[in-house]
Amino acid sequence: MHTLLLVDDDPDVLATLTRSFRKGYKTLSANGGEEGIAFLNVHPVDLIICDQRMPNISGDQVLSHALQIQPHAIRILLTGYADVESLLTCVNDAHIYKYVTKPWDPAELNLTVVRALESLVLKRDLDTARDQLETAYKDAVVMLCLAAEGKDQDTSSHLYRVQHYTEALAVAMGVANETAAHMGLMSMLHDIGKLATPDAILKKPDKLTEEEWDIMREHPLAGVRILGNNPFYETAREISAGHHENYDGTGYPHRLRGDNIPLSARIVKIVDVFDALTTKRPYKEPWPMEEAITHIESHAGIMFDPAMVEELKNLFIDGTLTRIKSAF
């Protein structure tokens, strides 16, 4: 059952509104703007009907507060006078669904509430579907990563560390938090192209021949093909294609240089190398973080973006890298 908050400083108007909506809805009645705001601070509501002209706190102020504290609640303004300025303020500041003039037609107001709540239900259903779709995409990322991991005998811990290193470094580079989180998720797919690389090459214990290296260097673009054309994976395609490029233009597959390498790929390149250096592998012991940072600094401007090297160093100094490594 939907909850309606009715706000008016006139007890008779409140009683009339309550009688109109008490069948089929849970109604809360607030006598004036101050009480309306107090209700909003405590009770979740689906729809608010609020008078404009009230002492101390006007209707547009109540609905503006509602927008801030319960943004998904539908806001309807009752007004008994022609005050264009107040209406414009309410439309602009409170983003009202509709305004209704006094005296109102009960049937029309009831229909307005029905239509408004239908739109609310539809929006909630769409939000749920969107969240489910986003979860499905994220699950697909993890499944693809696990498939690639099995081919390369890597560990899921490496992928999760790269994810969180990427997110932290992206934020340090000024990327918005939500975008950085998505970039971190997409970083897990950086080596997805190895699904197309023969096992004989991936698992070869000896040094690769030049011909085998040529095949190995195909995996960035193989990853782009595997990731298809869905816009959700655009960042993953950038990372796959560019995470073996070098800042000085000596990398592969396109020998891109400097800022021509996508930001996401430059970030994943440096954190992938950092994690490889600081993680135990069958052929080596883990490097201390200090040594890894020093090694990376020595390749600033050659393999790595110098600005990112500095930010990675700062993440080491403030303990962020250590916290991530400890968690995964």
Q: What positions carry a catalytic annotation?
A: 194
253 preceded by a cis bond (ω within 30 of 0): yes
Task: Quote the CA–CA distance of 236 and 259 in Å, as a whole number.
Answer: 18
Maximum alpha-carbon separation in the chain: 89
Helices (H) and strands (E) in the chain, counts: 15, 5
Q: Are strands 26-31 and 3-8 parallel, antiparallel or unpaired?
A: parallel
Task: Tell me, letter by letter, the H, E, C secondary structure of 217-278.
Answer: CCHHHHHHHHCCCCHHHHHHHHHHHHCCCCCCCCCCCCCCCHHHCCHHHHHHHHHHHHHHHH
- Which two three-digit tokens encode residue 207? 């040094």
Which residues are registered as beta bridge partners of 76? 49, 98
- Of 47, 59, 55, which Cα lies nearest the Cα of 94? 59
Task: Quote the CA–CA distance of 98 and 94 in Å, as a whole number.
Answer: 11
- Which two three-digit tokens encode residue 64? 């503006």
CB 186 within 8 A of CB 264: yes
